[in-house]
């Protein structure tokens, strides 16, 4: 070493620190890289992304390469700094101690912290750019890496730790995917983000959460006057209508309104038997069917309308394909039905909102940003009756889920109209 010029030693030290920084930066970049973004780039033919994924599939060998290189480089750096310090200041104990402190400082700042911060800040560009030389180094150092990994695998086997992570553990759960969508920021338009979030929520929604309850089903009674039947057909805004015989639990079939209107153009009086001949068998759905499953069933059965029944066969409501689609994409209307669809609930300037007692709780939570309980009754009327355990005969107000609910109108043993007061964001209330 005495014959080697000092400037050569300093240059060699700088190169060693630079190489050590390279390995530290690439290690951090590969570990922090977004695999989904890399797969997207690889799908577009990016060779660097393809090589990066290849390295990540062999993470044990890659880490062995990085650690072996860093240990060797750092040891050589320590030796060079010691030699340079002795050349300049002599072989005293204080000089060696100072050299050790100096090399520690140089390695921490220039070979560890700074390059790792850079690698964590720009993971994908750095990983893609450095993947090809790293792959070459892995092939060159394969004998040494295999030798080291032989002992590493033996140690992991002794500790009963799997060398490769379980693939099932690396899959994202529904809540984790939901977080990915929420953190998408400006990359995902607000409307698209809302649809994706609704899709995640649809897994927990059942058909009775979104059905039209039996009291609101628009149906044709074959036992009624023929004039009333014809008036119902002419004024209906639906393409399909349930046809009953006397009461809702006796469903004769489903009538396609367009086919029935064709009878009106024919000469002669329309009879009940003619209408009965146009009926198709009703499609029944158990009330605990998940909405997502029912969407698939509608597709498989080529149906658009189903009658929801409970375990005793009693009709509970009606659900259509449009109801499930609206649950995913939000409410929509057509020219035929726009006049019948109510505006979405919203707070007025005084922080109040008037809604019907039959309004579903899920709709209120979505439109007003509330957290009314959904594990019991489905409507505001049902929730208030459950809490009060009686039908109120006078105006009454209560606080529920951080929201004041005031009963405005009670009619025919049901709460018809309520007023909601916007909750204060900084306060938490319990059921009163």
Read off the pLDDT of residues 303-342 as tens digits, 9 standing for 90 and up: 999 999 998 889 999 999 988 888 888 766 554 444 443 4
Distances (CA, A) of 254 to 244, 246, 260, 301, 409: 9, 15, 11, 15, 35
Backbone dihedral angles phi then psi of residue 396, each to the nearest 5 degrees? -150, 150
Stated as kind and residue range, the H or E segment containing 64 is helix 59-89
pLDDT score for 425: 66
pLDDT at 16 over 80: yes
pLDDT at 1: 53
* Ramachandran angles phi, psi of 290, nearest 5°: -70, 145
Burial 273-300 (b: 16+ CB within 10 A, else e): eebeebbeebeebebebebbebbeebee
- H-state helical runs in 122-256: 123-140, 142-158, 167-170, 174-182, 190-202, 207-210, 226-235
Confidence grade of residue 431 (pLDDT, cut at 50, 70, 90) = very low
Quick one: average pLDDT of 8-27?
90
Q: What structural domains does the chain harbor? A: 6-170 (no CATH), 207-340 (3.10.580.10), 352-421 (3.30.465.10)
pLDDT band at 430 (very low <50, low <70, confident <90, very high): very low
pLDDT of residue 14 exceeding 50, the answer is yes
| pLDDT at residue number 169 | 56
Is it the case that residue 200 has pLDDT exceeding 50?
yes
Q: Return the structure tokens found at 7.
A: 């400037």
Identify the pLDDT of residue 253: 92
| Mean of pLDDT over the chain | 83
What secondary structure does DSSP assign to 259-297, as a single string?
HHHHHHHSSS---HHHHHHT-B---EEETT-BHHHHHHH
Q: At what angle do helices 123-140 and 59-89 cross, to 10 degrees?
A: 90
Q: How far apart are CA 317 and CA 211, in angstroms?
A: 6
pLDDT confidence band for 251 (50 / 70 / 90): very high
* Mean pLDDT value of segment 239-266: 85
**Least confident piece of the model among 26-40, 51-65, 155-169:** 155-169
Predicted pLDDT at 428: 44
Dist. CA 70–CA 72, nearest whole Å: 6
Confidence at residue 342, expressed as pLDDT on a 0 to 100 scale: 43
Q: What is the pLDDT of residue 164?
A: 59
Report yes or no on whether pTM surpasses 0.85: no
pLDDT at 277: 87
pLDDT at position 2, please? 59
pLDDT at 268: 63
Q: Quick one: pLDDT at residue 186?
A: 63
Kindly tell me the burial class for residue 114, based on how many C-beta atoms sit within 10 Å of its own C-beta (0-12, 13-18, 19 or more).
middle
Taking residues 228-249, report their average pLDDT.
87
pLDDT for 185 equals 61
377-394: per-residue pLDDT in tens?
888 888 888 888 888 877
Backbone φ, ψ for residue 148 (5° rounding): -65, -45
């Amino acid at each position: 070493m005495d014959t080697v010029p000092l400037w050569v030693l300093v240059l060699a030290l700088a190169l060693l620190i630079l190489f050590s920084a390279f390995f530290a930066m690439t290690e951090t970049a590969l570990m922090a890289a977004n695999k989904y973004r890399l797969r997207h780039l690889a799908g577009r033919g990016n060779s660097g992304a393809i090589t990066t994924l290849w390295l990540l599939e062999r993470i044990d060998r890659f880490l062995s390469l990085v650690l072996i290189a860093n240990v060797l480089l750092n040891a050589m750096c320590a030796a060079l700094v010691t030699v340079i310090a002795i050349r300049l200041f002599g072989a005293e104990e204080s000089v060696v101690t100072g050299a050790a402190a100096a090399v520690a400082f140089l390695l921490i700042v220039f070979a560890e912290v700074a390059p790792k911060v850079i690698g964590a800040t720009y993971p994908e560009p750095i990983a893609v750019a450095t993947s090809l030389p790293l792959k070459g180094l892995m092939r060159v150092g394969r004998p040494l890496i295999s030798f080291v990994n032989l002992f590493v695998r033996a140690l992991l086997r002794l500790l009963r730790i799997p060398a490769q992570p379980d693939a099932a553990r690396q899959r994202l759960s529904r809540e984790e995917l939901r977080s990915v969508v929420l953190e998408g920021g400006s990359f995902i338009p607000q409307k698209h983000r809302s649809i994706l979030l609704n899709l995640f929520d649809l897994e927990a929604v059942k058909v009775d959460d979104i059905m039209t309850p039996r009291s609101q089903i628009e149906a044709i009674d074959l036992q009624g006057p023929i004039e009333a039947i014809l008036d119902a057909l002419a004024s209906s805004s639906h393409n399909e209508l349930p046809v009953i015989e006397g009461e809702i639990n006796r469903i004769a079939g489903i009538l396609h309104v367009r086919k029935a209107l064709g009878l009106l153009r024919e000469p002669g009086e329309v009879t009940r038997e003619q209408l009965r001949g146009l009926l198709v068998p009703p499609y029944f759905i158990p009330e605990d069917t998940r909405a997502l499953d029912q969407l698939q069933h509608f597709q498989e059965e080529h149906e658009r309308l189903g009658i929801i029944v409970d375990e005793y066969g009693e009709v509970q409501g009606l659900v259509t394909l449009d109801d499930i689609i609206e649950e995913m994409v939000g409410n929509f209307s057509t020219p035929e039905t726009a006049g019948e669809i109510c505006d979405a609930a919203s707070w007025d300037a005084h922080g109040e909102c008037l809604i019907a007692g039959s309004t579903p709780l899920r709709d209120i939570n979505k439109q007003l940003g509330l957290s009314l309980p959904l594990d019991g009754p489905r409507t505001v009327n049902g929730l208030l009756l459950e809490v009060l355990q009686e039908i109120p005969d006078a105006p009454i107000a209560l606080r529920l889920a951080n929201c004041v609910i005031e009963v405005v109108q009670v009619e025919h043993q049901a709460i018809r109209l309520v007023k909601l007061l916007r909750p204060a964001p900084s306060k938490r209330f319990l059921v009163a």
